[in-house]
Amino acid sequence: MEEQLLALQARMDDHEAAINKEWILVSAAMILLMQAGFSVIEAGSVRAKNSSNILIKNVFDSCIGAIAWYLLGYGFAYGESNSHFIGSTKFAGSTLAEDNEYVQWVFGFTFCATSATIVSGSLAERTYLETYLLFSFIMCSFIYPVVVHWAWNENGWLY
């Protein structure tokens, strides 16, 4: 009887973990939809000749954000910390071994890319595309991840 209860508990734990992963991925999809909303609002706030530029910038935010978050951002945000100010491991996805870590990576990436998109609206019609893309890379690889490390990493000084 006890073995059956333990087996049932193990199956329930597996189901709970699967539901949690699914919920995080659905939440990440909703956060990515925020980028579409920011794109529409920003396209409506600029002159017609610049609306395609704004839309391209928002698409590039997602692309550059994914690359920057994978190469540097995730490591700075969730890596081991000695000084409580910045992480130092997990660069280039080197230790994304568990499924749960991939899910956390996707969730973190969506917030990171969305944070860069928010800035895009304030820079509408004020910057060159190349300059903005450089800013987006810096934002997603260093600025946002450092603040995430401070607040969400268990070794961060604001945790």
How does pLDDT run along the chain (159 residues), one tens digit per residue? 777 767 767 777 778 888 899 999 999 999 999 999 999 999 999 999 989 989 999 999 999 999 999 888 888 888 777 777 777 766 766 666 666 678 888 999 999 999 999 888 888 888 898 999 999 999 999 999 999 988 988 878 887
- Is the dihedral angle over the CA atoms 30, 91, 101, 86 positive or is it negative? negative
CA 49: distance to chain centroid?
30
Cα→Cα distances 91→53, 79, 95, 127, Å: 32, 8, 8, 30
Distance CA 46, CA 51 (A): 6
Domains present along the chain, CATH in parentheses: 2-152 (1.10.3430.10)
- The pTM of this model reads 0.84
